[in-house]
Amino acid sequence: MKANRIMGLQVLLSIMLIVGFSSCSKKSSSKNTSRATGWNMDSKKGASKKKQEAGPGLVFVEGGTFTMGKVEDDVMHDWNNSPTQQHVQSFYMDETEVTNSMYLDYLEWLKSVYPPTEENYKNIYEGASPDTLVWRNRLGYNETMTNNYLRHPSYAEYPVVGVNWIQAVEFSNWRTQRVNEALLEKNGYLKKNAKTNDVTAESNFDTETYLNSPTSAYGGDETIVLKGRNAKKQTKGGKNGAAIEPKNVYAQRSSGILLPEYRLPTEAEWEYAAAADAGQREYNIYKGQKKYPWSGGYTRSGKRQSKGDQLANFKQGNGDYGGIAGWSDDGADITNEVKKYPANDFGLYDMAGNVAEWVQDVYRPIVDNEANDFNYFRGNLYTKNMIGADGKIVIVTKDNIKYDTLSNGKIVARNLPGQITQVPVDEQETYLRQNFDKSNNINYRDGDKQSTRYYDFGDSDDDKAKSERTMYNSPKHNVTTDSLGKMVRKFDKSSKRTTLINDQSRVYKGGSWRDRAYWLDPAQRRYFPQDMATDYIGFRCAMSRVGPKADKKRSIRNK
Contact 382, 97 (CB under 8 A): no
pLDDT at 542 > cutoff 50: yes
pLDDT at 45 > cutoff 50: no
pLDDT in tens, 242-281: 666 667 789 999 889 999 999 999 999 999 999 998 877 7
Bigger pLDDT: 119 vs 471: 119
pTM confidence score: 0.89
Instruction: Give me the domains of the chain, ranges plus CATH numbers.
Output: 52-187+257-294+301-372+508-549 (3.90.1580.10), 190-230+241-255 (no CATH), 380-441 (no CATH), 443-502 (no CATH)
pLDDT in tens, 184-221: 999 999 999 999 999 999 899 999 999 999 999 998 89
pLDDT in tens, 283-340: 777 777 788 999 888 888 888 888 888 899 999 999 999 888 876 688 899 999 999 9
Cα distances (angstroms) measured from residue 196 to each of 109, 112, 113, 204? 9, 10, 10, 10
Q: Compute the half-sphere exposure of residue 310: CA atoms within 13 Å on the CB side of its CA.
A: 24
AA letter at 52: Q
**Closest by CA position to 53, among listed 287, 346, 259, 289:** 259
pLDDT of residue 108: 97
Q: How confident is the model at residue 424 (pLDDT cuts 50, 70, 90)?
A: very high
| Three-state DSSP state, 16 | helix
pLDDT of residue 28: 44
pLDDT of residue 217: 92
pLDDT of residue 467: 57
Neighbours of 164 (CB within 10 A): 25
Q: Strands 91-94 and 58-61, how do they pair?
A: antiparallel
pLDDT in tens, 361-403: 999 998 888 889 999 999 999 999 999 999 999 999 888 888 8
How far apart are the C-alpha atoms of 515 and 520, rounded to whole Å?
Answer: 8
Angle between helices 100-113 and 165-186 (to 10 degrees): 80
Q: Which residues lie closer than 8 Å to 385 by C-beta, 6 or more apart?
A: 208, 212, 393, 394, 420, 421, 422, 423
Q: What is the mean pLDDT of the chain?
A: 85
Four-residue CA torsion sign, 363, 366, 371, 375 = positive
pLDDT in tens, 94-114: 999 999 999 999 999 999 999
